[in-house]
Every structure is written in C-alpha cells, then in structure tokens.
C-alpha cells in the first residue's frame, strides 16, 4: 500500500506544532520507521524541504504567479483575499491552507508517489502554461492542509521549524544508527532520501561522493600572534601561502567539469580558461582551491583581480589581462573514493600525484617540524616570504587532520596581513553628506555572538568606489526593513571587510566594543553572513590591540 501524503502532512503538522526538538524528532522517527524504501526516500526529501535531493540538479521552476493562480483557482478566492491573507501570514503555504476549505474535486487521495511523479513531470516540462496546468492538477487533488505543504515545497520555502540536521537525527533514531554516520552519508551523497534508505539497510558506510553537489568548505581560524600557533596543535606543521583570490570547489566526473563558489553557487562560466585544463586531468575528483591571477610570478592583488569577478560572463579583454590560475590545495574525492576522513598529509600527497597542466598548480608545501620555541621565528620568515610573493599570509595546517566540511576548527589556522580586519555584516545605513549626498554611504555593521545574533561593533563611511556605493544604495533601498528617515535598518545580507586601528570596550554599540578609525576595505560578496567574524574573535582582538596603547603591530607579531 503506497503511503498517503495525508500521513506525511499529519507528521509535518506535529513537527510544526512543537518547538521541542526531541518531540519533533520522535514524531519524524515514528513516521519514517514504518515506510517502505520508495516512500521513505520521498518522505525524507520532502521533510528536508525540497522536491528533489541536493544531488539532483533539476528544478521545478514554477513561478510565484503560477502558484498563486493555482491557489486562487482551487480555493475560489479573489485576488484581494489572497493579498489580505498573505499580509497576515507572509507564507504562501499558510495562505493556501487558510483559503482552501472545500474538499478536493478529484477524490483520489494523494500518495507520496503521486507527488514524486508530479514533481518529475513539472521539472521535465517546458513552458509556463504547461507547468501551470500540472500545478493546478496537483492542487485539485489536495485538501487545504495538504495544499499548505505543496505550496511551501513548490514555492521553495518550507520553514516549518525543521532543519536538515533534525531530519538526519530522526533517521538515526528510526533505524538505530549513529547520527554522525547518517550526517556523513547525507553530506557525501547529497540525498537525504537515499541516506534514509541506507540507514534502514545498514549501508551508510558505503555512501559515495555525489559529484556536482558541492559540500561546505572547511574554514580556518585566524591567528593573531605567531606564538598562538603552537598552542593550537603540536608539530609537524604544514605551511602554505595564503592566496588572496576566490575559493573554488572543483568537481570533475565523466568529462564534465564544474566550479562552485564558497556560497556553493556554480561559477564555472566565470573561469572558462580553467575548464579544459581540469578536464585534461584523468579520472574523477573533487578539489578545493583558490582562483587568482599571477603576473611575472607574483600574485595580483585581490582588488585588481576582482575586476573580472562579479560578472557572469568575463569579457575577452579582462580574461587576457587577468588570466585565472587555479591553485589546488586539497583533494576531497578521487575516482570514487571519498577522501574526507584521510589525514591531510595523505590527501596532499595524492593531490601532488595528479598531472596538473598550467594554469593549474599546487601550493608549495613546507613541513615545519619545530617546537614552540623556534616556531614563531620560522613562521615569521615564511610570512615575510609569502608577502614578498604578493600573497596574503600563511595557512598553517595540521597534517593529521581530516577535511571537515563547513567547519571552522583549529586544524587550519590563517595568519593574515598585519592590518587588523574583521568581516562583518551591514545592519543599518545612513544617507551621506556633501559629495555623498543622495547615496547611502555610512554603514553600521555587526559581528556574530555565541548565539548567532548580530551585535553592532562599528560604523564607517564607505571606502568603496562611487560605482559600488551607487550599487549598494540601490541594494539597501530594496532591502530596507525599517525606514527611520536619515537611517535605514537593512536586511543584514551584505558582508564587508573593515580595517581599524584599535578595538576598545565601549557602550556605544551592543557588542560592548567599538572600533577606532574603521575603514571599509572591500565588499565580500563571496562570504555568506553565517561566516562573518565572531564577537569572541573581536574580544580577543580588543585585548591584543588594547595592550601596548598604539595598537600597531608589535615586533613579535607579523611584520
């Protein structure tokens, strides 16, 4: 007997009705535990919020207006009713549930398999009229409560207080597996449905890396003084230059090559010159890399290279002027074998056994096997040498460490330029004066606290170009949460890098800190807000820059 969608809906309602994680988890686990394989896969994917798995690159591509039309038709409501309901709920699913009060015209109850078949068909259909007809046919069979979730899934906005990690936990509970194994299989396979089936069958360990479904990138923790490195882990240390370009995760399989940005977007078309050289490397693989330009053997500064970024298609002259080089510093998969759990030292060796044609290369890897006494001086020399090559500083990595996707740990340490900077999110903007009249040029910005809340830490005049300021003005006008006249509270989705001379305790901002002489160094469109610097990092910087008065780099630090 195929499972009915109504039971899935009852479970989703139970999840939505409680804020308690354990209750959500128990409801999910009870439900998932009684499904057969096909239904289990579909149900788990739907709980994760999408019609398809992450590995599946199909999209429904049903427009907002098509969805509203379908709700209007099914409910018999007027445009005004829909508008008013949307004002109340700000969620199309809740609108559908409120307005659809009559039983479905088509009495055949929806099974999970019907949904899966309908999503396949919608994704495979071209033309908005044909898609509309399919969405209408689906809603014709749905009750109001079913329509709530159909609208959420089709509209791409699930929001029922359920994170994918909770679905993973429920799967682990339902089939008596450990959470880490479930999470690992889901991360590799990029399909929570397949993961659930594997958990049931006891084959989680056999999960393979799904190509072209990018995984979170491992992040580094900043080190403020060289003496700090030895406190993080013991020798030997793997040291590489820190290249100041853009992060890229490269996937190759079956002759296809794709590059993904740090926000996991496909950016292959931005670097067309890298595709053929990558394709020329035999086999399948996933690489972690930095893309930048070199001129006369030196790295071109990021601000210069940035000129060819930010456009979907790069003009030929910019490509000729700033040809991209890809520096691959890690390998995460090779010919079907996931390598995440292997120690870095082994991954680094494997990476260096691949034939990399130019403009692909690997960083020069130094092994420093020194104790805490001699280490800072050796790192200081390496730092200066890296800066001499036009690079930003150093990455110091633990050779024993696995690759931890999406995590910032102590196994990768970054030693940056002496200029103190923080990556922050813009929370409010203000109209400028004089030359900056008519543009939003003053930014207030925040770091993240332990609970992930934004805490303001400073305010600065924009140091951006006129064009950037004009563009950002438009962006902020469109993303204003509250217009207070001079000041606008904005959606905190813009990440900037700010430099400053000192951080001091102060009650001016709710972080309890304030910056002296803050300057906006650059926009960081490549960095999601979830990855901005933390209040904890800012506090450490405050103690460091506070002592010694001037706040300038001291001799033991990085020159």
Q: Which is nearer to ligand AMP, 391 or 473 (CB)?
A: 391
Helix pair 21-32, 164-175: axis angle to 10 deg? 60
Nearer to ligand AMP (CB atom), residue 395 or residue 428: 395
Identify residues 88-117 at the interface with ligand AMP (CB under 6 A).
none
Using rule CB under 6 A, residue 242 touches ligand AMP:
yes
Among 343, 348, 342, which residue's Cα sits nearest to residue 330? 348
Give the residue from 219, 164, 134, 143 showing the smallest Cα distance to 46. Answer: 164
End-to-end CA distance of the chain: 71
**210 vs 223, which CB is nearer to ligand AMP?**
223
* Among 404, 414, 479, 522, interactor with ligand AMP by CB under 6 A: 414
One residue of 243, 305, 443, 500 binding ligand AMP per CB under 6 A = 243
Binding mask 260-299 for ligand AMP (x = CB under 6 A): ------------------------------x---------
The full 3-state SS of 166-206, as one line of letters, equals HHHHHHHHHHCCCHHHHHHHHHHHCCHHHHHHHHHHCCHHH
Residue number of the CB closest to ligand AMP reads: 247
Strand intervals (E) in 264-383: 285-292, 294-295, 298-299, 325-334, 337-338, 360-361, 366-368
329 binds ligand AMP (CB under 6 A): yes
Q: Is 363 in the site for ligand AMP (CB under 6 A)?
A: yes
Residue 547 is classified by DSSP as T
Q: How many CB atoms lie within 10 A of CB 143?
A: 18
CB neighbour list of residue 273: distance below 8 Å, 6 or more residues apart: 319, 323, 324, 359
**Does residue 411 touch ligand AMP according to CB under 6 A?**
no
How far apart (Å, rounded) are the C-alpha atoms in residues 118 and 124?
A: 10
DSSP states along 443-474:
EEEEEE-TTS-EEEEEEEE--S-HHHHHHHHH
Nearer to ligand AMP, 242 or 334 (CB): 242
**Minimum distance of ligand AMP from residue 538's CB (angstroms):** 15
CB of 8 to ligand AMP, least distance (A): 39
Concerning whether 20 is annotated as a catalytic residue, the answer is: no
CA atoms of 22 and 119, how far apart (whole Å): 31
Contact positions with ligand AMP (CB under 6 A) in 367-406? 395
Q: Are 456 and 508 in contact (CB under 8 A)?
A: no
| Residue 245: exposure state from Cβ atoms within 10 A (0-12, 13-18, ≥19) | buried
Q: Which residue among the candidates 131, 152, 242, 459 is catalytic per the annotation? A: 242
Number of residues located near ligand AMP, criterion CB under 6 A: 10
Among the listed ranges 100-108, 237-245, 443-451, 500-508, the one in contact with ligand AMP (CB under 6 A) is 237-245
Work out whether 258 is an interface residue with ligand AMP (CB under 6 A): no
Residue 497 binding ligand AMP, by CB under 6 A: no
| Main-chain dihedrals φ then ψ at residue 447, nearest 5 degrees | -105, 175
Residue with the two structure tokens 């001129």: 295
Q: Which is nearer to ligand AMP, 294 or 329 (CB)?
A: 329
Q: Which DSSP string corresponds to 75-121?
A: HT--HHHHHHHHHHHS-HHHHHHHH--SPPSS-SPPBHHHHHHHHHH
Q: Is 247 in the site for ligand AMP (CB under 6 A)?
A: yes
State which residue, 338 or 393, has the beta carbon closest to ligand AMP: 393
Measured from the CB atom, the residue of 169 and 392 that comes closer to ligand AMP is 392
Does 240 engage in binding with ligand AMP (CB under 6 A)?
Answer: yes
Q: Is 220 a residue that touches ligand AMP (CB under 6 A)?
A: yes
Q: Which stretch binds ligand AMP (CB under 6 A): 90-98, 242-250, 458-466, 488-496?
A: 242-250
Residue with smaller CB distance to ligand AMP, 100 or 292: 292
Per CB under 6 A, which of residues 136..175 are in contact with ligand AMP?
none
Segment lying near ligand AMP (by CB under 6 A), choices 44-52, 58-66, 236-244, 473-481: 236-244
Structure tokens at 51: 């019609």
Q: What are the catalytic residues?
A: 242
Q: Which residues bind ligand AMP (CB under 6 A)?
A: 220, 240, 242-243, 247, 290, 329, 363, 395, 414
């Amino acid at each position: 007997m195929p499972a009915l969608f109504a039971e899935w809906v009852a479970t989703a309602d139970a999840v939505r009705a409680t804020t308690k994680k354990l209750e959500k988890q128990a409801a999910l686990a009870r439900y998932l535990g009684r499904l057969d394989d096909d239904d289990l896969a579909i149900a788990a994917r739907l709980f994760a919020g999408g019609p398809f798995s992450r590995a599946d690159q199909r999209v429904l591509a049903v427009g907002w207006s098509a969805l509203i039309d379908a709700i209007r038709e099914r409910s018999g409501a007027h445009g005004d009713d829909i508008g008013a309901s949307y004002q109340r709920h700000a969620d199309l699913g809740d609108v559908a549930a409120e307005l659809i009060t009559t039983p479905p015209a088509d009495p055949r109850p929806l099974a999970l398999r019907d949904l899966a078949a309908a999503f396949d068909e919608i994704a495979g259909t071209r033309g908005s009229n044909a898609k509309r007809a399919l969405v209408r046919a689906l809603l014709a069979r749905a009750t109001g409560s079913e329509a709530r979730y159909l609208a959420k899934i089709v509209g791409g906005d699930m929001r029922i207080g359920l994170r994918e990690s909770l679905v993973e936990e429920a799967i682990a509970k339902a089939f008596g597996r450990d959470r880490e194994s479930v999470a690992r299989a889901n991360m590799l396979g990029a399909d929570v449905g397949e993961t659930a089936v594997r958990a049931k069958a006891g084959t989680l360990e056999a999960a393979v890396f799904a190509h072209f479904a990018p995984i979170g990138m491992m992040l580094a923790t900043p080190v403020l003084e060289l003496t700090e490195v030895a406190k993080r882990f013991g020798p030997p240390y793997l040291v590489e230059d820190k290249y100041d370009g853009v992060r890229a995760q490269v996937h190759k399989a079956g002759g296809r090559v794709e590059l993904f940005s740090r926000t996991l977007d496909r950016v292959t078309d931005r670097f067309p010159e890298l595709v053929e050289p990558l394709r020329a490397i035999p086999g399948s693989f996933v690489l972690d890399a930095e893309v930048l330009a070199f001129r006369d053997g030196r790295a071109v500064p990021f601000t210069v290279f940035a000129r060819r970024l930010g456009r979907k298609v790069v003009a030929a002259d910019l490509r000729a002027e700033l040809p991209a080089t890809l520096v691959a510093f890690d390998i995460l998969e090779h010919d079907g074998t996931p390598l995440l759990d292997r120690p870095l030292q082994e991954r680094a060796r494997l990476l260096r056994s691949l034939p990399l044609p130019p403009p692909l290369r690997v960083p020069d890897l130094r092994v420093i096997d020194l104790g805490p006494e001699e280490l800072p001086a050796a790192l200081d020399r390496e730092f200066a040498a890296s800066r001499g090559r036009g690079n930003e500083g150093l990455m110091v990595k633990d050779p024993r460490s696995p690759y931890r996707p999406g995590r910032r740990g102590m196994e990768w340490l970054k030693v940056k330029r002496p200029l103190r900077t923080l990556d922050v999110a813009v929370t409010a903007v203000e109209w400028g004066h004089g030359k900056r009249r008519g543009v939003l040029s003053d930014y207030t910005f925040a770091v993240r606290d332990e609970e992930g809340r934004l805490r303001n830490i400073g305010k600065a005049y924009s140091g951006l170009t006129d064009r950037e300021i004009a563009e950002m003005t438009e962006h902020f006008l469109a993303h204003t949460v509250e217009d207070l006249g001079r000041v606008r509270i904005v959606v905190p989705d813009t990440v900037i890098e700010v430099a400053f001379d000192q951080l001091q305790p102060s009650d001016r901002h709710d972080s309890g800190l304030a910056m002296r002489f803050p300057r906006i160094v650059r926009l960081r469109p490549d960095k999601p807000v979830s990855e901005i610097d933390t209040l904890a990092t800012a506090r450490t910087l405050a103690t460091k820059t506070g002592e010694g008065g001037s706040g300038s780099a001291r001799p033991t630090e990085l020159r």
